[in-house]
Amino acid sequence: MENPETVKKEIEKLKKEIRGADYKYYVLSQPEISDKEYDVLLKHLKSFEEKYPQFLTPDSPTQRVSGGILEGFATVKHEIKMLSLDNTYSVEELKDWETKIKKMLKGNFQLHYVVEPKIDGVSCSLIYKSGMLTVGATRGDGEVGEDVTANIRTIKSIPLKLIGQNIPQLLEVRGEIYMDKKELEIINKVRLKNGEQLFANPRNAASGSLKLLSPSLVAKRNLNCLVHSFGLSRGAEFKTHRDFFEKVKNWGLRVNQHNKFCTNLDEAIDYCMKWEGKRDALSYEIDGMVIKVDDYKLRDILGTTMKSPRWAVAYKFPAHQATTVVEKIEFSVGRTGIITPVALLKPVECAGVTISRSTLHNFDEIKRLDVREKDTVLIERAGEVIPKIIKVISSMRPAHIKKIQVPKQCPVCRQPISKEKEEEVYWYCINANCPAKIKQSLLHFASRTCMDIEGMGESVIEELVNRGYVKSLADIYNLKKEDLLKLPLFAEKKAINLIAAIEKSKNRPLSRLFYGLGIRHIGEKAAALLTAKYNNINKFFTLKTGDLEKIPEMGPVMAESVVNFFFLRQTRKLINEFKNAGLNLQEEKRQIKTTVLTGKTFVFTGELESLSRDEARRLVESLGGKWSSSVSKSTDFIVVGKDPGSKYKIAKELHLTILNEDEFKRLIQEKA
């Protein structure tokens, strides 16, 4: 039998190791052991505690989840009132706020600030007695909150026991409980599968999760917490907010790594503007920034109103979400014939732009949302150009409004529609001569990444199709200057320029033509891969799916799509017309240099200023490199332009080599 004292020491040692690992992972963001090693430590500790229950303590890392279902939540009276912040929405309002507090201070004080992201989550109070977490509560009405201690104990970034030296006898801190955006996606996928109502946003999900009566379910929601404010303490003093952050961090509490000390308001404003532009790069939602007076003595002088502290203010970003009314639901037809429902919205300001329409993707999405004309809806524009409808506010639905039905015919050509496969979500117009399909196909074919026919935009294509001059892609090459001059859009010079652009497009590489054909599932990269392998378009008429599946990155769906396209009689007719018009139907074997970049994979995100995305990709290919549209551990370089998307965030998490546009150009020039 093992010596009890030895066992007790071993248990304490394991708890200390696990707490240290939690501190390095959650507070310092510098994990030193793998998840597997962490699980082994936890399992080892649990086996000891099961064998020697007399040494099991409430602060043990194994005791995060209590057993059973809670009957409800008791109330907790906050010893120090939990106030909410006043909001500002402009630089002028921030300056007005500073003017007011300077007047109140009267003396010649130099105001310093701490600025941090304002997380869109749920406010909480954490109380530690002798270093042990004893109470976790919601803000409630500011005076009385709900005791959600059992649920808060499940959150791994909240220590059950503080670590370090000089821990106060009593410490109350305030923080924000939140859910990462990625976690919300996972939960909503499960809820969608189970037919449950989706969470509208991470804050909604965090709030709902914290109110669950089963701590074991809360634990599965992977909530997180960041401490942002001081409540009260006995046994510790804080002179400044920076001092508070430093001390609580050393005690194991997690603070936001993006907080910044600013020596004046201009610096604070610059920091707010910086984050307004890159808020989507964070793994969690923020709806603004919080500016706080750093000096606690000055805070005492400024005091509070009934509702808010005078020494802090929130600068709110333009909302990512807004409510509006669906005025009408229309159906658009794409180049492949897919019929897409589109909601026309009562114009509303959202994320700094006016939103008046939103795609509904497909009829299954309409059914899931149960969205109808005249419904009030919640829309979101988070990191996307196209807004989406998150949910219908059914309590505001007018009486007797009808459900949206799948149309029986194409909304443009009035011909029948169908699904290619019963299990598919998309409905198609099956009329090859549908004007909407032709217009969208022409727009794609003439676009910059395909045949790059400058001057052939949407309005020109609209006129050409409506007047019957162009009924297929090949008809572009039969246009004469005299035809264009009959259109109201054209004068002599414009007509000459467009004819010249059409003529110039005949010499584009086969890969660009192939992409321009608009074959389903075949994007720009797949077109380049296919034409590099089969450099004459006539070869595609004899290929089988097995031939194409041998090409790396070419799956069975893509292979079948290509084979089916070239099996069609109208495809052979189209290619013959291209041949007669003098288009290039062969891909020249490009001379690719062997350099140190050979085989290296590049990913581009954001807008490049001095060259197009297409030009950048071709530069990479000319040096033997590859490009990809998605980020993974095998990505060698990620090139970041203006307003990068989520790829940039993923690249940082994976510790990939990140280049700005100038660094990319220097790299290419050095290796060329």
SS (H, E, C) 541-595: HCCCHHHHHCCCCCCHHHHHHHHHHHHCHHHHHHHHHHHHHCCCCECCCCCCCCC
CA atoms within 13 A on the CB side of 181: 15
d(CA 409, CA 154): 54
Which one has a higher pLDDT value, 355 or 385? 355
Instruction: Please give the pLDDT value at position 352.
Output: 66
Element housing 41 (H / E)? helix 35-51
pLDDT in tens, 560-615: 989 988 998 889 999 999 999 999 998 876 555 567 788 888 999 888 888 878 78
pLDDT for res 331: 93
List, in sequence order, every residue forming a beta bridge with 125; answer none if it has no partner.
Answer: 137, 174
For residue 84, give both structure tokens.
Answer: 């909410």
Residue 421 is predicted with a pLDDT of 75
Task: List the structure tokens of 154.
Answer: 């499940």
Residues 6+ apart with CB under 8 A from 305: none
454 closest CA partner among 505, 509, 511? 505
Contact in structure between 510 and 535 (CB atoms under 8 Å):
yes
| Size (the chain), residues | 672
Cβ neighbour number for residue 576 with a 10 Å cutoff: 11
pLDDT score recorded for residue 443: 93
Measure the CA–CA gap between 260 and 460, rounded to whole angstroms: 52
What is the rounded distance in angstroms from the CA atom of residue 559 to the CA atom of residue 526? Answer: 10
User: Average pLDDT of 47-66?
Assistant: 80
Distance of CA 512 to the CA centre of its chain: 30
Q: Distance between CA atoms of 73 and 146, rounded to whole angstroms?
A: 6
Q: What are phi and psi of 379, to 5 degrees?
A: -110, 155
Strands 626-628 and 601-605 turn out to be parallel
| Exposed e or buried b per residue across 612-629, where buried means at least 16 C-beta atoms within 10 angstroms of its C-beta | ebeebbebbbbbbbbbbe
Tell me what the mean pLDDT of segment 375-400 comes to: 82
Report the C-alpha gap between 325 and 231 in whole angstroms: 42
- Per domain, the residue ranges of the chain are 4-63, 87-316, 321-396, 435-505, 510-581, 601-671
* Domain at 435-505, CATH from 3.30.200.20, 3.40.1410.10, 3.90.79.10, 1.10.150.20: 1.10.150.20
Q: Look-up: residue for tokens 């993974």?
A: 632
Separation CA 58–CA 56 (nearest Å) = 7
**Residue 157 and residue 25: Cα distance in Å, rounded?**
9
Q: Which helix (H) or strand (E) holds 494?
A: helix 492-505
Task: Give pLDDT, residue 591.
Answer: 56
CATH topology of domain 4-63: Helix Hairpins (1.10.287)
Residues 267-318: tens digit of each pLDDT:
999 999 888 878 888 899 898 999 999 999 999 999 988 788 999 999 988 7
Position 557 scores a pLDDT of 85
Check if 4-63 and 87-316 are the same fold: no
Residue 564 backbone class (left: φ over 0; alpha: ψ -120 to 50; beta: rest) = alpha
In the CATH hierarchy, which fold is given to the domain comprising 601-671? Rossmann fold (3.40.50)
Per the DSSP assignment, residues forming a β-bridge with 96 are none
pLDDT digit string, tens, across residues 611-641: 878 788 888 887 888 888 777 778 899 999 8
Q: What is the pLDDT of residues 197-255, one digit of tens each?
A: 778 788 888 988 888 888 888 989 999 999 999 999 999 999 999 999 999 999 999 99
Instruction: From the candidates 9, 15, 118, 328, give the one annotated as an active-site residue.
Output: 118
Among candidate residues 641, 645, 647, 648, the one with its CA nearest the CA of residue 664: 641
Whole-angstrom distance, CA of residue 450 vs CA of residue 440? 13
Per-residue pLDDT at 297: 93
Give the pLDDT of residue 620: 86
Which CATH number is correct for 87-316, 3.40.630.10, 3.40.50.300, 2.40.160.20, 3.30.470.30? Answer: 3.30.470.30
Contacts of 595 (CB under 8 A, 6+ apart): 623, 624, 671, 672
CB-based contact 480:502 (threshold 8 Å): no
- Which of the residue ranges 54-63, 451-460, 644-653, 662-671 would you say has the lowest mean pLDDT? 644-653
Q: Are 543 and 562 a contacting pair, CB within 8 Å?
A: yes
Distance CA 121, CA 311 (A): 22
Distance CA 430, CA 337 (A): 7
CB atoms within 10 A of CB 251: 23
Is 118 a catalytic site residue?
yes
Grade residue 68 by pLDDT with cuts at 50, 70 and 90: low
Residue 663 confidence (pLDDT) above 50? yes
Q: How high is the pLDDT of residue 669? A: 79
Check if the beta carbon of residue 7 is closer than 8 Å to that of residue 48.
Answer: yes
Q: Which sign does the torsion angle of CA 362, 365, 366, 367 carry?
A: positive
Instruction: Tell me how far apart the alpha carbons of residues 360 and 364 are, in angstroms, rounded to a whole number.
Output: 9
CA distance 328 to 148: 44
| pTM score, whole prediction | 0.55
Look at the alpha carbons of 568, 574, 580, 582 in this order and tell me if their dihedral is positive or negative: negative
Architecture of domain 510-581: Orthogonal Bundle (1.10)
Residue 653 has pLDDT above 90, yes or no: no
pLDDT at position 424 is 79
Q: Whole-angstrom Cα distance, residue 311 to residue 230?
A: 13
Q: Pairing state of beta strands 113-119 and 224-234?
A: unpaired
**Distance between CA atoms of residues 156 and 29, nearest Å:** 13
Q: Please give the residue that has the higher pLDDT: either 382 or 374.
A: 374
Give pLDDT, residue 672. Answer: 57
Give CA angle at 384 (378, 387), nearest 5°. 30
How many C-beta atoms lie closer than 10 Å to residue 374's C-beta? 14
Task: Report the alpha-carbon distance of residue 22 to residue 45 in Å, rounded.
Answer: 15
Q: Which amino acid is at 572?
A: R
Closest to 118 in 3D by CA, of 274, 248, 284, 263 = 284
pLDDT averaged over the chain? 87
Lowest mean pLDDT among 376-385, 418-427, 546-555, 659-668: 376-385
Q: What tens digit of pLDDT does each residue of 486-532 get?
A: 988 899 999 999 999 999 999 999 999 999 999 988 888 889 889 98
Is the pLDDT at 389 greater than 60? The verdict is yes
Domain with residues 321-396, CATH architecture: Beta Barrel (2.40)
pLDDT at position 1 is 47
Question: 3-class DSSP state for residue 305?
Answer: coil
Q: Is 398 exposed, middle or buried (0-12, 13-18, 19+ CB in 10 A)?
A: exposed
Q: 3-class DSSP state for residue 526? A: helix
Whether residue 635 contacts residue 603, with contact meaning beta carbons closer than 8 Å, is answered with: yes
Give the closest residue to 98 by CA, choosing from 271, 302, 367, 368: 302
Q: What is the pLDDT of residues 101-131, one digit of tens each?
A: 999 898 777 899 999 999 989 999 999 999 9
Distances 79 to 146, 234, 248, 474 between C-alpha atoms, Å: 14, 13, 20, 78
What is the 3-state composition of the chain as percent helix, strand, coil, each rounded to the nearest 5?
A: 40, 20, 40
Q: CA 121, CA 180: separation in Å to the nearest integer? A: 10
Can you tell me the distance from the alpha carbon of 116 to that of 296, in angstroms, rounded to the nearest whole number?
Answer: 17
